[in-house]
Structures are given as C-alpha cells and as structure tokens.
Structure 1
Amino acid sequence: MADITAKRVKELRDMTGLGMMECKKALTETGGDIKAAEDLLRIKSGAKASKAAGRVAAEGMVAAYITPDGKSGALVEVNCETDFVARNEDFIGFVRDLAQLAATKNLADTEALASAALPSGENVDAFREALVMRLGENISLRRFARHVTQGHLASYLHGAKIGVMVDYTGGDQTLGKDLAMHIAASKPICVSTEQVSPELLARERQIYTAQAAESGKPADIVTKMVDGRVVKYLAEVTLLGQPFVKNPDQTVEKLLTAKSAKVNGFTLFIVGEGIEKKTGDFAAEVMAQVNQAKEDNTSQPN
C-alpha cells in the first residue's frame, strides 16, 4: 500500500479538481492507488450526478462562438440550479468550450454534444459529471443551435442570460451587431410572416374573434377588427415587421432594404425560458440539504 501523503492527495486533486478530503478518502479506499482513486471518484461523480438530475435547473448561461472564418457559429445554453454556480469560473469555461465545440463540429443533438470531446480532449459528459460533484448542483446541457452561412454571422450576449446569433447577407459588421441586439431586445419569434406557424396564427385569430364578438358590432365589422389585430400581431412577432430599436420610425425590413441586406435566420436563447421554476421554503431547502449530506455520510463504508 502506497503512503497517502499530502503530495499524493494534491496530485489527485489536480487531476480531478475535487476537494482534498474527497481525494484523501478515495486514496484510502483504494490503498493509495492514484489511478484507481481517480476511477472511484469518477464513479462517485456519476452517482452524485444522477441524484442531482431530478432537481430543477433553470439558471445557467448562454455562450456564443463564431469560427475565425465567420462561416459557422453556435449558441449553447447550459443550465444549473442557482445563479451562484452560473457565476463559477469553471462552469463559465465549460459552457464557452461547449459553444466552440458545437460551432466547429456538425453534431446532431445534445446527446451527440455530450458524447463529444472538449478542446482539452476530455469527454463532455464526464467533465459535466465531475462538475456536478464539485459544485453540488444539477448541470444540464439544455440546447444548442449551429449556423453555417454563405453570408455573415453576428452574435450578441446580454450578460450571460440572453444570447442571439443571426445569419445575414449583405450589409456590414455594424448591421449584424445591430440586428443581433435588436433581436435580444424585441424577441421576435421568426424572420417573416410566412414563417409564423398556422396553428399559432389560428389560435390568435380565435382569441381576437372572441374578443371582437363581445363588442356587439355587425359581423363584417368584427371580421375587419380581427383582420386588423392579426396584422398588428404579425408585425409584433416577426423580425421584419418590428420597429428597429435604434430608430423606431423605421421597420427592420426597411432598414435591411436600405442596406441591401437580408436576414437568412436567427437563434434567440433566453436562459431558463419555458422551464418551470421551483418556489419553496428556503429554510426547508437548507434542512433538506443537511439531511442529504448526513445520508451520504452514513452510506459511505467505514
């Protein structure tokens, strides 16, 4: 059995990024075998990740990366449970690495992303699980979008909570940045009216029809009222129909025409959008964490 020295514990800590006590305990359990201890910590990391997986992760960050040639780029959203972890440097670095990976590799989905290798060579999901163990929170790769263009790409991050990537043709870099900032501020759902889903449009029309019917006006007037509301709705939710944020007297469509430019597509990610956030008693949550820690300690072999 090898001596479990402070130097050996530090070596394992450098390899895994985990705490000194966790590393010392793993070395003790494996008779000082550093490779076996690393494997043990990876196994425990996976077990801890599965325990955390059921907890709601609605915080996190969005990262963007565009390749040096400007022809491909990606947005990535990774979630965690608290804003505290979202500000952790290791978490931030992980998300940024994922954005670079997603931009440079043609990956089908988040499962493929999780199976890929980071720039360091380490497996993405193995790194994620180690991060879960180190930071003590559920961390999930929620989504990513990759853009490949024959034109230009521009991105904009509002802090780390809102991210935009826009694919456009014509214009210049300033236009691209302005478009990305506009999308972050005005949050269109698509580029043009033709891209609005028929189901969504039918639902809005049904609501407007019910509202207009309450006015008691003749059917032909009601129809005109509904048609007017639909036109207004389409202008609000489509990029081309929206007033440009830097010049509300001009629509984005007119701005693009003036610049001889065209938007081919865009992606907008808002951290935690659509995830039902848990609300509860803070004191009860703290006690639950204390009890979980006691349970973890009692389940360890003596």
Structure 2
Amino acid sequence: MANYTAADVKKLRELTGAGMMDCKKALDEGDGNVDKAVEILRVKGQKGVAKRESRTAENGAVAALIADDKASGVLVELKCETDFVAKGDKFQAAVATIAEHIAATSPADAAALLASEIESGKTVQAFVDEKNAELGEKIVLDRFAQFSGGFVATYLHRTNPDLPPQVGVLVQLDKENAEVAKDVAQHIAAFAPTYVSRDEVPAETVENERRVAEATAKEEGKPEAALPKIVEGRLNGFFKENCLLDQPFAKDNKKSVQKVLDEAGVSLSRFARIRVGA
C-alpha cells in the first residue's frame, strides 16, 4: 500500500476538487506522490481537475443553526472562489443544507462529516462535488463547530452588506441569557480571542512569551532587578490580547469579559469563531 497521509489527501482535494475516495485511489496508484496523483486524475478524466488545479477557495459563507430549545447549535463554513457565487441562492442553500445535516448527525470531525450520507446513497463529499460541477468553482468544506448542553447562541457578521456572513461565532453559556450571549459573541467576532481563559493557554506558549518578554526587556536596557515585574506585565498583556475572559469588553472597556459574565451570573464554557478563508 502506498505511503501517504491525510494531509496529502486534503492537499490533492484542494488542488483538484476531486472526491476524497478518488483522491485516495489516485494516491494509491501514484505510490503516495501528490503530483503523480494529479496526473492520474487528469488521465481518468475527473471533472474539473485540470481547470481547478491552480484555483483557491477564499470566498464563501458561514451559516449557523440553533435548536429551538437553544441547547445545541452548529456553525459551518463553506468556501468558494468568488463572491459572485458566494452570494448566490444555490450556494447559500447548500450551506444551509449542510448545517441541517450536521445538526441531525453530529459528525465527529470534518472527515466524518464528508463521509456521512446526506441523501440516500450520497455522501456529503459527493454533495460538495456536485456543487463544484454545478457552480463551476472549487467548493471546499473543511470546518465546522457543534455545541450541545447549556445555552447555545450565535452571531453572524457581514463584512459586506451585499455578501452572506463572513464571520460566525458560536458560544455556550451555563444558563440562558440571550442578551449577554449575543454581546459576548459580537465581542468575539470583533476581537478574535484564541482561548477562553489563561488556563487553556499551553504551558510551552506561556514559557515562550516569558522568554520573549525577558529578552526584549534586556535588549531595551531595562535594569536586571526590574525584569521579573516587566516580564509579568507583558505576559498579562499577552493574556489580555488572546484570552477572552481577560479582554476588555467591547461595549465597556473598563470591564473585562469575565466581569460582564460575573455580573450577569453566567459562565462561558467555550466558543468557536470562523472567518471565511482565515
């Protein structure tokens, strides 16, 4: 059996727009070589392969679906090549259909989603491949988020009023508070935190920030005795920039997001933020 990775399959799919199984077969036949696999797909006449090779899918839309009881929700990104296709009814209908499918089936990850059956005898990958052919552009589905439990809410942001939402946020609170959930989701959309709290930041990341802060302070000629305080101050700055609960709240920068949640008597367990193409 040829030696190749899931990353190779993904790369081949992005290069050609061919289906996952077709890419795996081509890599098997090409001994794991991606370039050979591209040629094999060409020779076999896979629809759109030659035309899509050099294309990139950096436009598209995010869609969300929240259950009636607000206890679960889905956020999904579908990418295409142009904003013209992104704002079309067929493309937006496809995003909505995929969101509904995720809500109904709860796939474990993107690979499981693409392999799941969305219609009788048709996988999600086949559904996406059909949209490739129907819309004449590379269509890519590789990111989604799904939360359940507590109170789930979403916020979708249009960076251009003529286009579908380009930024989507999903948040999960421990109890219902629609106003706070919306405010915090809008904050996340604007400020793009990486983590919920300091506890989520990997230890190696913290140590690296400490090293950088100390080296920078020394380069600036700061006195040795002042270094510990300076390093801690800059590390706190890193947390305020990257950790949601430490960030100054968008609507009142005198309060942290943690303070806003505390005052509302709720806690936030997780969030997901997707910006199309980012």
Range into which the TM-score falls when normalised by the shorter chain: 0.7 to 0.9
Aligned residue number for residue 35 of structure 1:
none
The residue identity in structure 1 corresponding to 2:67 is T
Deviation string, structure 1 residues 188-237 (Cα, Å, up to 9, x no partner):
11111111122322232222222111122222212221111001211221
The residue identity in structure 2 corresponding to 1:261 is V
Deviation string, structure 1 residues 119-162 (Cα, Å, up to 9, x no partner):
7985322221121112221111021111111x100100002111
Q: Does 1:164 align with 2:163?
A: no
Aligned residue number for residue 258 of structure 1:
263
Residues 244 and 128 of structure 1: CA distance in aligned 2, closer, same or farther (over 3 Å)? same
The aligned length equals 229
Query: How many angstroms apart in 2 are the aligned matches of 1:119 and 1:176?
Result: 34
Helix, strand or coil for the counterpart of 1:47? coil
Q: Once structures 1 and 2 are overlaid, which stretch shifts more, 65-74 or 157-166?
A: 65-74
Residues 49 and 142 of structure 1: CA distance in aligned 2, closer, same or farther (over 3 Å)? farther
2:151–2:176 CA contact under 8 A, matched in 1: no
Query: How many angstroms apart in 1 are the aligned matches of 2:214 and 2:239?
Result: 16
The residue identity in structure 2 corresponding to 1:83 is D
Deviation string, structure 1 residues 260-279 (Cα, Å, up to 9, x no partner):
10001000111111xxxxxx
Q: CA shift at 1:99, angstroms?
A: 1.5
1:73–1:104 CA contact under 8 A, matched in 2: no
Residues 93 and 147 of structure 1: CA distance in aligned 2, closer, same or farther (over 3 Å)? same
Query: How many angstroms apart in 2 are the aligned matches of 1:239 and 1:45?
Result: 49
Query: How many angstroms apart in 1 are the aligned matches of 2:133 and 2:89?
Result: 15
* Structural RMSD (CA): 2.1
| Structure number, greater radius of gyration | 1
Question: Runs of 5+ in structure 1 lacking a partner?
Answer: 1-43, 274-302
Q: CA shift at 1:49, angstroms?
A: 5.5
1:101–1:119 CA contact under 8 A, matched in 2: no
Aligned residue number for residue 80 of structure 1:
80
Q: Does 1:206 align with 2:205?
A: no
Aligned residue number for residue 96 of structure 1:
96
Query: How many angstroms apart in 1 are the aligned matches of 2:148 and 2:119?
Result: 20
Q: CA shift at 1:253, angstroms?
A: 0.8
Task: Choose the corresponding residue for 1:269, options 256, 270, 274.
Answer: 274
Residues 114 and 45 of structure 1: CA distance in aligned 2, closer, same or farther (over 3 Å)? farther
Q: CA shift at 1:102, angstroms?
A: 1.3
Query: How many angstroms apart in 2 are the aligned matches of 1:51 and 1:115?
Result: 25
Residues 119 and 163 of structure 1: CA distance in aligned 2, closer, same or farther (over 3 Å)? farther
Runs ≥4 in structure 1, deviation > 4 angstroms? Answer: 119-122
Aligned residue number for residue 151 of structure 2:
152
The residue identity in structure 1 corresponding to 2:204 is E
Helix, strand or coil for the counterpart of 2:222? coil
Q: Does 1:248 align with 2:247?
A: no
Query: How many angstroms apart in 2 are the aligned matches of 1:49 and 1:101?
Result: 27
Query: How many angstroms apart in 2 are the aligned matches of 1:114 and 1:46?
Result: 19
The residue identity in structure 2 corresponding to 1:245 is A
Aligned residue number for residue 14 of structure 2:
none
Aligned residue number for residue 226 of structure 1:
231
Residues 119 and 133 of structure 1: CA distance in aligned 2, closer, same or farther (over 3 Å)? closer
Q: Does 1:64 align with 2:64?
A: yes
1:45–1:132 CA contact under 8 A, matched in 2: no
Deviation string, structure 1 residues 35-71 (Cα, Å, up to 9, x no partner):
xxxxxxxxx9952257526532122111111122222
Aligned residue number for residue 187 of structure 2:
182
1:153–1:167 CA contact under 8 A, matched in 2: yes
Q: CA shift at 1:86, angstroms?
A: 1.3
Query: How many angstroms apart in 1 are the aligned matches of 2:148 and 2:176?
Result: 18
Q: Does 1:130 align with 2:135?
A: no
Q: CA shift at 1:255, angstroms?
A: 0.9
Query: How many angstroms apart in 2 are the aligned matches of 1:50 and 1:176?
Result: 46
Query: How many angstroms apart in 2 are the aligned matches of 1:63 and 1:69?
Result: 19
Q: Does 1:110 align with 2:110?
A: yes
Aligned residues with identical type, % of pairs: 38
Q: Once structures 1 and 2 are overlaid, which stretch shifts more, 115-124 or 79-88?
A: 115-124
Helix, strand or coil for the counterpart of 1:225? helix
